[in-house]
Amino acid sequence: MGCAGSKEVYAAHSGTEADYKSMFEEKRVLGQGEFGVVKLVAKNGSPDSESLAVKVLQKGFVFRDNVLYPPMKPEKLKLEIDILQALDGKAFNLALDSIYESSSKIYLVTEICAGGELFEYTSRNMAEGLRTEEVSRIAHQLLSAVNHCESRGVLHRDIKPENIMFKANTKSSELRLIDFGCGALDLNNERGKEHVTFAGTAFYNSPEMFQKRYTSKTDVFSAGVVLYVLVAGYPADRLQAAFNLLHKAKRDLKTLPGMPDGMPDTYYEMLNKILTYNWKSRKSAKEMLNDEFALFHQAKKGRMQRTQSVVLLGTGEKAAAGLGFVKFQRSLTTLLAAMLERGDLLSLMSFVETKVSSDDKLDSKLGAIEVKDIKLILETMGKLDCVAAIEKQQNAKIYDGSSYDYTLLKPFTEKQNVKHERENPDQLSGSLRFSIKNVQHSVRTLSSSERPKTVRKLGRAQSGI
């Protein structure tokens, strides 16, 4: 991996690269993303000190795996740093330890979350099933994090299971709200103002986010969707149905796909308050901290008769299934981005959007299409190698009827030569427009009998039904 540097200062009051190297010892790599790598570190000379994590970000262009990635937008990283500093690592939000910077890199040192993401954590620690008090504890901590964000003028705008991690791999571990890359920060005189910039992940977004007129209560709605999938699993095979129900003003949340037996009425009462369609009528996170179900985990035995401590059977399996699909979706995105040229990705996105817009059962707001339809479009494009690679992914056949978030591909369509193609549209229009026209026609006219059949439906644990 190589990169070109930048002299721009991303973080005020940061230390130097030399300061970082003198302060920390790098242990091992924990993960790698588009802009850099995450490593386990420990402070030098302090063998008993708590381990930390460092995100090493490249400031310039990065060349990796035969792909040239553009530099991070300085204003985006500066804002994320400002948000982390404003939150000060309190109320279950990720704690920023320190920042260091060189001409080519920036080092963000944070607390480490060894328990993993939400689905990973629950599938490991609650394999036999979540208990109602564990759901209550997670709800209270997540609402506490959202309330603290609101109190500091922060909108997260992308609350979802992947952005909720746990400090330790134990049942009693605290959660942490992470990744404020989609966040916004209101100044003191701007608190409560309406925002108009679309952000986040469609399935978890509030109705007002799609209307592009929202406040911090958009995060409350997203937290509610997370608390739904916490017990019901991610409804990958019924995503559109779940989305449609969540975005109705009047609905029965007990009919959401995958809801387990034995959920107390107090849970549904909490969920109804958090998922109220009209944001002006929706309870704030602060108000919800005193909700009966959210307080259940703190109550003395027998004090709350309407909520009982029971094991919610199947919830551990649903978490494992949700984790499996998240991994598959990431693999599918990486695979398509690696195997397809940018022009082909643009074509694929156009074909997908045509399919979605022509299907009355699909909503373009959700931005999802079944995996089998992605494969069908790729076959029509002649990308049989891509189809073969998809089918080699672990449990690929199980996910044929699951909904893939195709908006994950959009960043890869904007990476290279965007300026050149905007200034020279005719150079793009020839073969690409011809290809789009022919494949759109093929997608519209294919009969159901020509479409690949799902090998088998999701099992009960995977579907959450």
Residue type (1 letter), 155: L
Q: Which amino acid is at 257?
A: P
Task: Report how far residue 161's alpha carbon sits from residue 178's, in angstroms, rounded to the nearest whole number.
Answer: 10
Nearest 5 degrees, angle CA 278-CA 280-CA 286?
115
Residue 412 CB neighbours (<10 A) = 21
Question: What sign does the CA torsion over 234, 240, 241, 246 have?
Answer: positive
Q: Contact 238/246 with Cβ under 8 angstroms?
A: no
Are 295 and 138 a contacting pair, CB within 8 Å?
no
CA–CA separation, 170 and 277 (whole Å):
35
Place of tokens 């026209």: 437
Q: Catalytic residue, from 97, 158, 373, 405: name it.
A: 158
Q: Is 158 a catalytic residue?
A: yes
Determine the Cα–Cα distance for residues 384 and 390; give it in Å rounded to an integer: 10
Please give the structure tokens belonging to residue 458. 């999701």
310 secondary structure, DSSP code: -
The phi and psi torsions of 282 (rounded to 5 degrees) equal -70, 140
The H or E element containing residue 457 is: none
Q: Any residues with CB less than 8 A from the CB of 206 and at least 6 apart, and which?
A: 214, 217, 218, 220, 221, 222, 279
Residue 184 identity (one-letter amino acid): A
Q: Backbone dihedral region of 402: left (phi > 0), alpha (psi from -120 to 50 degrees) or beta?
A: beta
Q: Which residues have CB under 8 Å from 331's CB, separation 6+?
A: 393, 394
Please name the residue that has the structure tokens 């990973």. 120
Contact by Cβ (8 Å): 215, 197: no
C-alpha dihedral sign at 446, 458, 352, 331: negative
Report how far residue 31's alpha carbon sits from residue 200's, in angstroms, rounded to the nearest whole number: 22
Q: Which of 268, 227, 239 is nearest to 251 (CA)?
A: 268
Give the burial class of 277: count Cβ atoms within 10 A of its Cβ; 0-12 exposed, 13-18 middle, 19 or more buried: middle
Helices (H), 152-234: 207-211, 217-232
Which residues form the catalytic set? Answer: 158
